[in-house]
Amino acid sequence: MALARHDVIVVGAGVVGLSTALYLRRAGLDVAVVDPLPPAGGASFGNAGLISPDTAVPIALPGMLPKVPRWLMDPLGPLSVRPSYFLRALPWLLRWVESGRLHRVLAISDAMRALHREAMDCWRELLGPELYRELFRPLGQVHVWEGGGDTSNAKLERQIRERHGIDTETLAADDLRQMFPGIAREVTHGLLVPGNGFTVSPQRSVQALGKLFAHEGGALINERAMKLIPDEGGWMLMTNTANRAANHVVIAAGAWSLQLLEPLGIKLPLETERGYHATLFDPEVVPPLPISNKTRAFGMTPMEDGIRVAGTVEIAGLDAPPNEQRAKILVQHARRMFPGLSGKDVRYWMGFRPSTPDSLPILGAASGRPGLHFAFGHGHFGMTGGPPSGRLVARMIVGQPTGIDPAPYAAQRFR
């Protein structure tokens, strides 16, 4: 019996995979999405919900190298590396430090800005105006600092904002008290980024992409992708229950993407930044818009089911069990910033950010393997970069003008 052949199989039903699939389906292609979980089962469920078209500062910045020993010593710090995983992570960490050199940071910021700047437009385009109004709040984001704050890269971050014409508003202590009643006096100054925003439910936002994709004729298949095999001018995907064929395959499996690619001899610097969140249900204090504490490296986002407190990075791979103490520290930080917040009903969560050393995703065709495409590595920016990445990859597959230069996101940059 001949295999039914799709035009495209997308592996991964997160925000990146579903955005790609929906754009491809609307271009008239026969598209299937394969994932063992229904939409929004991974990082697309548990992220901070931030949509940041006016964010162009990469994670790696100058001066990171001297901080590495401290990360190893503090398992509950903002960024930690489990000692047992350090040697495995070392090559990625060295590339990460290299990406923090000034000339690289500026070039990376240009590529981030090009990809992110139309994020809100892409969400509106994918969801339609009614769902967009229901789920998204383009109200801005606020960054705050305690005391004098960490000003080591403040000049560089200001230079990046000016380089890209990003509007901001400086907030003094009195401004913060008016915007966020009950905020602690330790919080002394802030910055409003009015061009950013958030979603009240990352889960429902990504589920909406899946429902639209299915309604418009796409196939959502809950199977586990096991192996990718070249097959008669296309690809055959072995899953846990079937064989599925396609002319094109898009790997959008987030932190698990390399498990399918390494058997093909494809090696890319993708690491797992384990992120944590705590959701406080029925909180006494609800900030009107997201507030990110840059001193303690965490943020609070108002969502329809409570406040989500998210942040920190743990480098420990895919297999180590969660360290729930990292999520509990986030609740302590939130209560310190808002002393009137108790939030007795709390849910803890841990997920895997698929991260590259330069904070840019890996997008586009695989070199020398016709029909194989990449769409992963969005790190901290999946909800922002996912829809425009999906649009870019879909345009490349169907041969449409891409709108932006795809070269900065190509896998070939890591040779």
Please determine, for residue 249, whether its predicted confidence score (pLDDT) is greater than 90: yes
CA dist 92 and 41 (Å) reads 26
pLDDT (0 to 100) of residue 154: 84
Does the pLDDT value for residue 183 go beyond 90? yes
Res 73: pLDDT: 73
- Across the chain, what does the average pLDDT equal? 94
Amino acid 150: pLDDT: 55
Q: Please report the sign of the dihedral spanned by the C-alpha atoms of residue 379, residue 381, residue 387, residue 391.
A: negative
**Confidence grade of residue 2 (pLDDT, cut at 50, 70, 90):** low
287-313 residue pLDDT tens: 999 999 999 999 999 999 999 999 988
Dist CA 248 CA 257 (whole Å): 16
Confidence of residue 141 (pLDDT cuts 50, 70, 90): very high
Long-range contacts for 363-366 (Cβ within 8 Å, ≥24 apart)? 363/389, 363/392, 363/393, 363/406, 363/409, 363/410, 364/392, 364/393, 364/396, 364/406, 364/409, 364/410, 364/411, 365/396, 366/266, 366/411
Residue 1 has pLDDT above 70, yes or no: no
Q: What is the pLDDT of residues 373-401, one digit of tens each?
A: 999 999 999 999 999 999 999 999 999 99
Q: Write the pLDDT tens digit of every residue in 257-289.
A: 999 999 999 999 999 999 999 999 999 999 999
Query: Would you state the pLDDT for residue 233?
Result: 85
